[in-house]
Amino acid sequence: MTNTAELRSITKTFDETKAVDDVNLEIRQGEILALLGPSGSGKTTLLKIMALIEQPTSGEVYLYDEKVNEKNAERLRLNCTMIFQKTTVFNTNVFDNVAYGLKVRKTPKERIQNEVKQALKLVGLDGFENRRARRLSGGEQQRVAIARALAINTKLLLLDEPTANLDPKNASAIEEIIAKANREKGTTVVIATHNMFQAERIPMRLALMGKGRINEVGTPAEIFGKLSKTLASFAAVENTFTGNATSAADGTTFIDIGSEIQLQTTAQPEGLVNVFVAPSDIILSRSHLESSARNVFKGRIVEISDLGKLVKLRVDAGKSFIVQITKRSFNEMGVNLDAEVFLTFKASNVQVI
């Protein structure tokens, strides 16, 4: 697969502090990649290095299969755009804001008109051409900034916490625009975020960052399906429990998490431990299932969240469990709030972290 960008052994030091520490990462053409991590983990610095705004202290940056150097950096920089957390718009109308990059590139007027029109349509700002950009809401200004990048057909769009200062409605609109730009224009997108839910929804792949390093790379399902210590260290993750582990005669381990609930795991920890059960690993049923699964609990549905093709349910079984099922399964089961259900999952699905 062709890469839009590649980072090889990238390190960036500020006053003897390593903001980025020996990072290797490939950004595939046409993908959405999220850099997920807490504040101070190096996400913004890494974006600036990809945008050729910052030079690494050591290591190599490749853009579009070219190694970046002093001779080609200015030319390659024209094909990537970084949008910062605090949006910058010029003190003029929306049209001139979006057309700025095209005018710098001495694009013919007719093409400028067409590209600006198409970009504004994509971000949902049709008819905003003559409005003053700085009088728009924060979400609308963020859309103007994205439109400015899309108008020049940027190959690599770098977004630093693009929804951090927005209300839920505007945040959702920005997320949809990102997905639409990727889908319709094939724009490669790298988004830095500390938002767990955003990291589950938007990207095709995740790079999990901590203390300037990339600790894991994978699909959202891979990263969230197997909770790592890095993820657990900063994220409020569903179905994490603390309890005392006791070995059983059959080689498994019981973990008492309180409220008369003991989870059985194939891991063999001892003493006080933290455990995780992925919501997608729990089978929900209206009656007790006959299976080899070691963990079976009876509970009551106390919350239902519609996520489009998926449904998340919170079940009170003495402890609160989150279960994720398809909407089709949910409809076929015919369950609702206060319904009595059974939770079933294998001992191998109880991960010790």
Average pLDDT over residues 108-134: 95
Structural domains of the chain, ranges and CATH numbers in brackets: 3-234 (3.40.50.300), 240-352 (2.40.50.100)
Does position 183 have pLDDT exceeding 80, yes or no? yes
- Are 278 and 349 contacting, i.e. CB atoms less than 8 angstroms apart? yes
| Measured distance CA(87)–CA(73) in Å, rounded | 24
Does position 179 have pLDDT exceeding 80, yes or no? yes
Average pLDDT over residues 33-58: 94
pTM over cut 0.75? no
Average pLDDT over residues 297-306: 95
Does position 199 have pLDDT exceeding 90, yes or no? no
Q: Could you give the residue ranges of the DSSP H alpha helices within 186-277? A: 196-201, 220-225, 229-234
- Are 120 and 170 contacting, i.e. CB atoms less than 8 angstroms apart? no
Residue found by looking up tokens 């500390």 in the block = 194
What is the overall mean pLDDT for the chain? 92
Q: How confident is the model at residue 148 (pLDDT cuts 50, 70, 90)?
A: very high
Check residue 112 and give its pLDDT: 96
Q: Which of 45-59, 193-207, 244-258 has the lowest mean pLDDT?
A: 193-207
Check residue 309 and give its pLDDT: 82
Given its phi and psi angles, is residue 264 left (phi above 0), alpha (psi -120 to 50 degrees) or beta?
beta
| Measured distance CA(55)–CA(52) in Å, rounded | 7
Check residue 235 and give its pLDDT: 63
Angle at 228 between CA 226 and CA 230, to 5 degrees: 150
Does position 188 have pLDDT exceeding 60, yes or no? yes
Average pLDDT over residues 34-51: 93
Q: What is the pLDDT of residues 238-278, one digit of tens each?
A: 888 999 999 988 888 999 999 999 999 998 888 998 888 88
| Measured distance CA(161)–CA(141) in Å, rounded | 14
- Are 100 and 147 contacting, i.e. CB atoms less than 8 angstroms apart? no
Does position 70 have pLDDT exceeding 60, yes or no? yes
| Measured distance CA(164)–CA(177) in Å, rounded | 15
Of the candidates 307, 35, 326, the one whose C-alpha atom is nearest the C-alpha of residue 189 is 35
Average pLDDT over residues 316-334: 94
| Measured distance CA(241)–CA(108) in Å, rounded | 61
Q: How confident is the model at residue 1 (pLDDT cuts 50, 70, 90)?
A: low
Helices and strands of the chain, counted as H and E runs? 10, 20
Does position 325 have pLDDT exceeding 80, yes or no? yes
